[in-house]
Amino acid sequence: MKYYSTRDRSTSVSFSAAALNGLASDGGLFIPQEIPQFSPSVRSSLGTMNFIELAFETIRPYVHEDIPDSVLGDMVESAFNFPAPLVPVDDRFVLELFHGPTAAFKDFGARFMARSFAYLRRNEDRELHILVATSGDTGGAVADGFFGVEGIAVTVLYPKGRVSPLQERQIAGLGGNVSAIAVEGSFDDCQRLVKSAFVHPELSRRLNLSSANSINISRLVPQSVYYVAASALAKSGRYSQDGKATPRMRGTGEGQRAVRDGRLGKDVLFCVPSGNFGNLTAGLYAQAMGAPIAGFIAATNINKTVPEYLASGVYQPRPSVATISNAMDVGAPSNFERMTAHWSYEELRKNIHGFWVDDGKTKETIARVFDTSGYVLDPHGAVGWTAVDQWLSAKEDPVHPFAGFSGPVAVLGTAHPAKFAETVEPLVGPVPVPPSLAEAMGRTVQSVTIRADVEALVETLLTLRS
Ligand SMILES: *Cc1c(COP(=O)(O)O)cnc(C)c1O
């Protein structure tokens, strides 16, 4: 598989170059020249493979020229050493993606990326410097994924005061090869600073810079795996009963259960709580590869750039607004360029239905779903849940994509509710904390604060790394 830049189809680079460089030299994002397809034999046996086998089959076509099969097999086995259960709740499913070390779905991408970088750079002497901007969860997952990896230093930029205390400890509490910079500004400022660092002449001369945001293709591809796995499970009429992470105290109603289970055996409609749209793009890749996916609901908070684009055809990025689902506070989604490089507006509009949800509705949903089913949603999953409710009330209107859809609906549970205890607990009471989060809470924050200014960043990076 070769990769080209979204801005120049004549570039042609290996997976290794695309992953290690992060961004193309023209500022574009790397995309595969074509999205691979599962062979008919793999496709017909998706429903019988386990998660690790599915991970291998999904990722292999993207990387096989650079990563031998035996190495890839070990990588997926050690990266994905936690479950991704498809859990029945009321009339739908929640695909719980928060059982990894930082309790957010970004562990899937970050853990695979760290392992692939370590392998791809096995013969390099010069230290690689990963620069990553985060609105909350990326930083923690990347820091955790790369912590202790030799030959690689990581610096995470996060918007000061706009991440939760736990997120800040996950980002800035590790030390070692991981440094943290608190930027006096928004996530968009952090992202802008990272982008300008990459094209800064002195920095690029002195540091061997790479990115780790969801723009990195090595983070995107592994995120396709759970879409393949969950859709294959539901298509073969099954789901997991073993999601234990959040309390489910009361049973769900018989009627709702029958509705939900009657939908199994068909292609799945996924609802994806979205910010930079890396997760949703990974879902589009999984669908294009041949996974049994009917389409997508794109759920955002008030940062509704993409739902508006899907409704109107006009793309109008804008500054981000702070919300309680802060990992989705993105006004100019970085993967939009990738989505539109692969698919036209017409194609996207038929395959993705966009909804946006404000903080008030998000809180109402957390309280209501807990009341009716005992299930605790985090604010991001709750945006997704609410978007499904909105879609259900609009869905019979024939102007909408998926009118009359009768298959299973799965909301992606992108973070554990204990990560957002300050929002969730006033609504539902105490939320049990998983051990990985309890450990992180005990760490001390060590970060440098800078103003949202490229020169301040350059100076800090050169001091940190000299
Ligand atoms: C990052 C994140 C999102 C948004 O994912 P994108 O790939 O940026 O669209 C949603 N929920 C949580 C909890 C996240 O950490």
> In this predicted structure, what is the pLDDT of residue 238?
83
Contacts of 81 (CB under 8 A, 6+ apart): none
Distance 266 CA to ligand 1 centre (A): 26
DSSP for residue 335: T
Distance 26 CA to ligand 1 centre (A): 26
Among 97, 274, 281, which is best to mutate for testing ligand 1, by the most ligand atoms less than 8 A from CB?
Answer: 274
- Is 49 part of any domain? no
Residue located nearest, by CA, to atom 2 of ligand 1: 327
| Interval 129-153: pLDDT, tens | 999 998 777 889 999 999 998 889 9
Model confidence band, residue 253 (pLDDT cutoffs 50, 70, 90): low
Tokens standing for 160?
A: 């000061």
User: Which residue range(s) make up the domain with 338?
Assistant: 82-104+219-433
| Ligand 1 binding residues, C-beta < 6 A | 104, 106, 137-138, 214, 273-280, 327-328, 380, 414-415
Number of domains into which the chain is organized: 1
Mean predicted confidence (pLDDT) in 409-437? 94
Mean predicted confidence (pLDDT) in 200-214? 85
Mean predicted confidence (pLDDT) in 91-108? 94
- Is 374 part of any domain? yes
Distance 441 CA to ligand 1 centre (A): 21
Distance 192 CA to ligand 1 centre (A): 18
Distance 65 CA to ligand 1 centre (A): 30
Residue with tokens 């000061």: 160
- Is 393 part of any domain? yes
Tokens standing for 54?
A: 């599915």
- Is 299 part of any domain? yes
> In this predicted structure, what is the pLDDT of residue 209?
87
Among 99, 301, 328, 412, which is best to mutate for testing ligand 1, by the most ligand atoms less than 8 A from CB?
Answer: 328
Q: How far is Cα 180 from Cα 376, in angstroms, rounded to an integer?
A: 31
Residue 243 has pLDDT above 80, yes or no: no
Distance 278 CA to ligand 1 centre (A): 8
| Interval 360-404: pLDDT, tens | 999 999 999 999 888 999 999 999 999 999 999 887 776 777 888
CATH of the domain at 369: 3.40.50.1100
Residue located nearest, by CA, to atom 14 of ligand 1: 327
Model confidence band, residue 309 (pLDDT cutoffs 50, 70, 90): very high
Distance 380 CA to ligand 1 centre (A): 8
The closest-lying atom of ligand 1 relative to the alpha carbon of residue 282 is 7
Model confidence band, residue 245 (pLDDT cutoffs 50, 70, 90): very low
Residue located nearest, by CA, to atom 1 of ligand 1: 327
Contacts of 426 (CB under 8 A, 6+ apart): none
- Is 300 part of any domain? yes
> In this predicted structure, what is the pLDDT of residue 240?
75
Least confident of 118-132, 228-242, 437-451: 228-242
- Is 110 part of any domain? no
The packing angle between helices 379-394 and 359-373, to 10°, is: 90
Residue 244 has pLDDT above 60, yes or no: no
- % of the chain exceeding 90 in pLDDT: 76
- Is 63 part of any domain? no
> In this predicted structure, what is the pLDDT of residue 242?
52
Tokens standing for 132?
A: 């990553």
Distance 415 CA to ligand 1 centre (A): 8
Model confidence band, residue 464 (pLDDT cutoffs 50, 70, 90): confident
Q: How far is Cα 233 from Cα 458, in angstroms, rounded to an integer?
A: 48
- Is 18 part of any domain? no
Tokens standing for 305?
A: 């750039």
Residue located nearest, by CA, to atom 15 of ligand 1: 137
Residue 246 has pLDDT above 50, yes or no: no
Mean predicted confidence (pLDDT) in 325-330? 91
Residue 50 has pLDDT above 60, yes or no: yes
Mean pLDDT for the chain overall: 92
The closest-lying atom of ligand 1 relative to the alpha carbon of residue 136 is 15
Specify the higher pLDDT residue, 347 or 212. Answer: 347
Nearest to 93 by CA among 411, 445, 321, 451: 411
Q: How far is Cα 434 from Cα 81, in angstroms, rounded to an integer?
A: 16
Nearest to 369 by CA among 381, 356, 360: 381
